[in-house]
Structure 1
């Protein structure tokens, strides 16, 4: 049986413009009754297409409402070191700890302090990156799901913004 989906209607496009544009739901997820009995809340989420002509299908076994919230991981972006204010924030956090205790404990405390300071700095300077990504994904989702012809130039711009 087809598991259905949540998200954009189409999972493939030929990326053409105007009357040459073709959009289809080619990609599907199938399961038999035994598998469905084991995972009754499983669902398929169709992600927006970014750089591929196929959408990503995500299998969520627990359903959308029962997934555990995960602690956000800190992700360092190398481009930050070239931005104004970064070095000052880093050095202040790194140098602003006592030199007491075990060397490894000191290192752990310095890294934790740097992570917290850089995260606050990033929020002030860049705002919410995840919010910007979600907004672009929503825009793509709306455009890719509509029945009318795509404005190929606008879609490519949104996709490029999302990639960057």
Structure 2
């Protein structure tokens, strides 16, 4: 399992504005293919990197992510990646939670009058 800044997007929908550089070699796709890795997905904002000012005119990408091979994914099936808000000049922080707690709240049992 690995997470961090990979400097590549996997799909065109992970980039907004600017050239997507699809003609160059995508080393992230190659790496994921070689090690049989999958993307862990995410919750939070869609993009983790911005060039220029934050807003509609900025170039945005999802460069930061978590990947895992099948054995790691089976060992930690509930592992999640969360994109936090921007605190730096161009990258947002990401958090890997290996065993998130469920948010289930017990409600008291009640009869319904019919």
Query: Structure 2-normalised TM-score?
Result: 0.51
Query: Which residue in the other structure is 1:53 paired with?
Result: 90
For structure 2, which runs of at least 5 residues remain unmatched after alignment?
A: 1-37, 104-114
Higher strand fraction (1 or 2): 2
**Displacement of 1:57:** 1.1
Do the aligned residues in 1 keep the contact of 2:86 with 2:93 (CA within 8 Å)? yes
Q: In the TM superposition, what are the counterparts of 1:10-159 in structure 2 within 5 Å?
A: 10-16=47-53, 20-65=57-102
Whole-Å Cα distance in 1 between the matches of residues 92 and 62 of structure 2? 9
User: CA 1:64 to 1:54, structure 2 compared with 1: closer, same or farther past 3 Å?
Assistant: farther
For structure 1, which runs of at least 5 residues remain unmatched after alignment?
A: 67-164
Higher helix fraction (1 or 2): 1
User: CA 1:63 to 1:16, structure 2 compared with 1: closer, same or farther past 3 Å?
Assistant: same
Whole-Å Cα distance in 1 between the matches of residues 46 and 55 of structure 2? 19
User: CA 1:42 to 1:21, structure 2 compared with 1: closer, same or farther past 3 Å?
Assistant: same
Query: Structure 1-normalised TM-score?
Result: 0.36
